[in-house]
Structure 1
Amino acid sequence: MVRDGKIVERGTFEAVLANQGDLKQLIDDFGKKLSQDDIFDTEQLIRLDTTIVASENSGGCSFSKPRRESVLLMRRPTLTPSKNNNRQVLKIQKPPGKVTEHREQGSVNYDVYKTYLRANGVVSGGIALSAIVAQQIISLLTTLWLRNWSSSNQTPSENQDPHLGYFLGIYGLLGLLTSVAAFVDAITSFSICAVRCAKFFHDRMFGKILRAPMSFFDTTPAGTILNRFSRDVFIIDEILPRVFTGFLRTAAGTISIFAVVSWAVPPFLLVCVPLLFVYKSVQSYYLATSREIKRIDAITKSPIFAMFGETLAGVATIRAFAEQGRFVAENETKVDRNLEACFASISANRWLAVRLESIGHVMILTVASLVVTNLAASKPLDSGMVGVLMSYALSITQSLGWLVRVATDVETNIVSCERVIEYTKLKSEGPWETVEHHRPSSNWPEKGEIVYEGVECRYRDGLDLVLKGVDFKVQAQEKIGICGRTGAGKSTITLSLFRLIEKSAGRILIDGVDISQIGLNDLRSKISIIPQDSQCFEGIVRVNLDPEGSKTDEELWRVLEQSKLKGHIQSLVSPIDDMISLRYRKKKYH
């Protein structure tokens, strides 16, 4: 018998019961009444149309009126009488044990960019960058070639175009080279770099999640984890490669435009530098807001994912208690909170567009004025060059505006890499494999003797001890039962045996081997547990019985026979390879 993490009674069931101690009291109490921990008196529940939902920062909102604003609802509200009327008020409680999702502040650390670039691969990334630069150089040469072609036609000649084949051939060759560079860029950027980068981040995060301690799952909502593997991974897979390559292309194109205009009209530099400073100031001001909005958007999506999964799991209970309205309102609250970030993002984009257009028009006016002034100089520009400059001047607004946007998109979307990298740094459980000189024999455990010596355990650092100096010994082939009230430490003993939680003090021995000295793989592969709630995974029966595929058909059939399932499995169309669907897995196999 366990109480407050300590063994208070031990012996056979009849002997302990005869002592009239804690076990007898526990059985008597259980027979008299049910635990009231998670049960509400249904007579006290008020219909949602007469219920007021209140939170610490909300004045209250009645569901009987049209919904004007969303109100935060929590999973386990408490019923408190209202002083003003006979209706009930649902007070908001923070879910116990859950931690608030971490959000970085300020600009993204440069280490995140380094990790992302390294994940793309040095060679493939270098090839992609070279292809992008080559495209812009060839595009610039194509424009200048057209300028020379048009200038050559200014000289009168009996032959309207004596060098048509020459000019046309070079122009076609430049177009072909542009296509080749674009093809190389697309293949390396999306088929190689993007795939490699996505695999790099996903595999490392997935590996860390699989090796994370149970305390992580106890304190982290499922929706937060799901958000990392859905939205954040999608951005790394699909969006970030596109905006990153778009930024490189736009940057290369903008540099080429400024280089040509500055070379043809040097005074342009006097106006260009101040305008670029203004562009940078606007971009920095916008980026600080946009980056934080992106982080808020990512964080506010997690509760939506969490509630969706929880609602699906408990939809029968929700309908049984006629609580659909409350859950709909709670879902609308979470969606509205996420949409607040989306609306702010759209507004910030409109703010940026107005300012970029205004600055761009100033730059166009500057270039046009300088070109007109140059025509009055002693050595004016030829008509072909004037056409090139005006064409580039008109594209400056679009190029600079797009450069600011894609640069901002890169930093706002790189936040997903930042969030994934956060999970790649999670603390792991103990070593998976055993150090060679501590590895137990291949037939361990032979007898199955279990010894606890002064074991103390807590679920995570900073919490009180759950097991406090537990000492007992289970002989080989002996069957025991552990009794105790809720929270006494029954499950904790089992968790400590599998090292799902690590002991703070003491030793746990199985056949004389200290389990803290061996790897988790060697420990957990040698002992088994039957869960309280049976569960089947979607897939075939064979995979559910033998996930690693190490057993023969004869062994699988023997296990099914021992568990009284052989007859049912034989009645299936394709017995051991029958599919277990999500819809019927509980109905058929539970």
Structure 2
Amino acid sequence: MAIVDEELPTTIFDFLPCFFQVIGIMVLVSWLNPWAFIPSGIATMCMLYIRYRFAHCSRDLKRLEGITRSPFYSYLTSTIHGLKVIRSCHAENICASEFFSHVDTNTRVEYLFLTTTRWAVIRFDWVTVFFVAIVTLLSIGLRVFGRQFSSADIALTLSYSLSLMGLLQWTIRQSVEIETKMTSVERILEYCSLGQETSVQRLPKYEPSINWPSHGRIVFDNVSISYFQDSPLVLRGISLNIEPG
């Protein structure tokens, strides 16, 4: 819930201004130097392809991270509530081993998620380096041989090209971050769509009387119990009498 209420809106508000800034810078760079539109388009397609490969893996890992985090917190809560029983049974080592097992499972997924993020960032940086190199060589070549642009136009083109690639990289990463954090919304919707447990239905002849219980005696007369209607019996033909006091 904290991700949906706090982190997801912040990420969306960070993504939208960056996205519109990227569009504006691309229009400006293309207007200053139309030849720069070619490498910028190629770099954008390369980054989108990396994003496509990165988003699938990142989304699944984030989903696994959420799934493995729930047992970690639930086991911690159960351990705190049952601490007296654990100590009385001298089961500290067993509980600690199970707790560390849950922690290790969650940590493995978190490590894979961070590794995947670094994988994408390194490739984004490679694309940025090649883009800046191509734009620089192209601008210098047009200045030296074509005499088409002034030094001020070339400097402005290079300046905005550098900021464009950094901003585009961050925008793509934020879009992937939004997609991965939407897995929290997905889990909430899954919990909301869970069916309610069926209420216990008793036959009218088994309904207790209004003044029940009238005394403290408990009687089981040939009682058989199963967890479900068609499941095997777990208790069969139990008869006992517990007197009051």
TM range (shorter): 0.7 to 0.9
Which deviations, in whole Å up to 9, do the C-alpha atoms of 1:151-184 show, x marking residues without a partner? Answer: xxxxxxxxxxxxxxxxxxxxxxxxxxxxxxxxxx
Equivalent of residue 254 in structure 1, options 9, 22, 25? 22
Is residue 58 of structure 2 the alignment partner of residue 290 of structure 1? Answer: yes
Q: Paired residue for 1:398?
A: 166
In 2, the alpha carbon distance for the partners of 1:478 and 1:419 equals 44
Which deviations, in whole Å up to 9, do the C-alpha atoms of 1:77-131 show, x marking residues without a partner? Answer: xxxxxxxxxxxxxxxxxxxxxxxxxxxxxxxxxxxxxxxxxxxxxxxxxxxxxxx
In 2, the alpha carbon distance for the partners of 1:328 and 1:398 equals 45
By how many angstroms is 1:487 displaced? 7.9
Describe the SS at the equivalent of 2:64: helix
Between the two proteins, the alignment pairs up a number of residues equal to 225
Match runs of 1:170-185 below 5 Å: none
Equivalent of residue 80 in structure 2, options 312, 319, 343? 312
Q: Paired residue for 2:185?
A: 417
Describe the SS at the equivalent of 1:381: coil
5+ unaligned residues in a row in structure 1: which ranges? 1-232, 431-455, 458-466, 493-590
Structure 1's 487 and 322: CA in aligned 2 closer, same or farther, altered over 3 A?
A: farther
Is residue 118 of structure 2 the alignment partner of residue 350 of structure 1? Answer: yes
Q: Paired residue for 1:471?
A: 205
Q: Paired residue for 1:517?
A: none
By how many angstroms is 1:362 displaced? 1.2
In 2, the alpha carbon distance for the partners of 1:311 and 1:478 equals 38
In 2, the alpha carbon distance for the partners of 1:363 and 1:242 equals 30
Question: Does structure 2 conserve the Cα–Cα contact (< 8 Å) formed by 1:364 and 1:396?
Answer: no
Between structure 1 and structure 2, the one with the greater Rg is 1
Q: Paired residue for 1:382?
A: 150
By how many angstroms is 1:378 displaced? 6.2
Structure with the largest fraction of helix: 2
Is residue 89 of structure 2 the alignment partner of residue 321 of structure 1? Answer: yes
Question: Does structure 1 conserve the Cα–Cα contact (< 8 Å) formed by 2:59 and 2:179?
Answer: yes
In 2, the alpha carbon distance for the partners of 1:471 and 1:309 equals 42
In 2, the alpha carbon distance for the partners of 1:487 and 1:478 equals 20
Match runs of 1:12-51 below 5 Å: none
Structure 1's 388 and 476: CA in aligned 2 closer, same or farther, altered over 3 A?
A: same
Is residue 141 of structure 2 the alignment partner of residue 407 of structure 1? Answer: no
Question: Does structure 2 conserve the Cα–Cα contact (< 8 Å) formed by 1:250 and 1:403?
Answer: yes
In 2, the alpha carbon distance for the partners of 1:300 and 1:255 equals 39
Describe the SS at the equivalent of 1:484: strand
5+ unaligned residues in a row in structure 2: which ranges? 228-245
In 2, the alpha carbon distance for the partners of 1:300 and 1:486 equals 44
Which one-letter code corresponds to 2:58 in the other structure?
S
By how many angstroms is 1:486 displaced? 11
Q: Paired residue for 1:462?
A: none
Question: Does structure 1 conserve the Cα–Cα contact (< 8 Å) formed by 2:135 and 2:158?
Answer: yes
Which one-letter code corresponds to 1:375 in the other structure?
R
By how many angstroms is 1:488 displaced? 4.7
Describe the SS at the equivalent of 1:471: helix
By how many angstroms is 1:291 displaced? 0.6
Structure 1's 484 and 381: CA in aligned 2 closer, same or farther, altered over 3 A?
A: farther
% same residue: 23
Equivalent of residue 484 in structure 1, options 216, 220, 238? 220
Which deviations, in whole Å up to 9, do the C-alpha atoms of 1:423-468 show, x marking residues without a partner? Answer: 23344589xxxxxxxxxxxxxxxxxxxxxxxxx84xxxxxxxxx6x
Structure 1's 478 and 359: CA in aligned 2 closer, same or farther, altered over 3 A?
A: closer
By how many angstroms is 1:386 displaced? 2.4
Which structure is higher in RCO with an 8 Å CA cutoff and minimum separation 6? 2
Which deviations, in whole Å up to 9, do the C-alpha atoms of 1:531-550 show, x marking residues without a partner? Answer: xxxxxxxxxxxxxxxxxxxx
By how many angstroms is 1:318 displaced? 0.7
RMSD of the alignment, in Å?
2.9
Which one-letter code corresponds to 2:71 in the other structure?
P
By how many angstroms is 1:234 displaced? 1.1
Q: Paired residue for 1:266?
A: 34
Question: Does structure 1 conserve the Cα–Cα contact (< 8 Å) formed by 2:39 and 2:135?
Answer: no
Question: Does structure 1 conserve the Cα–Cα contact (< 8 Å) formed by 2:25 and 2:160?
Answer: yes
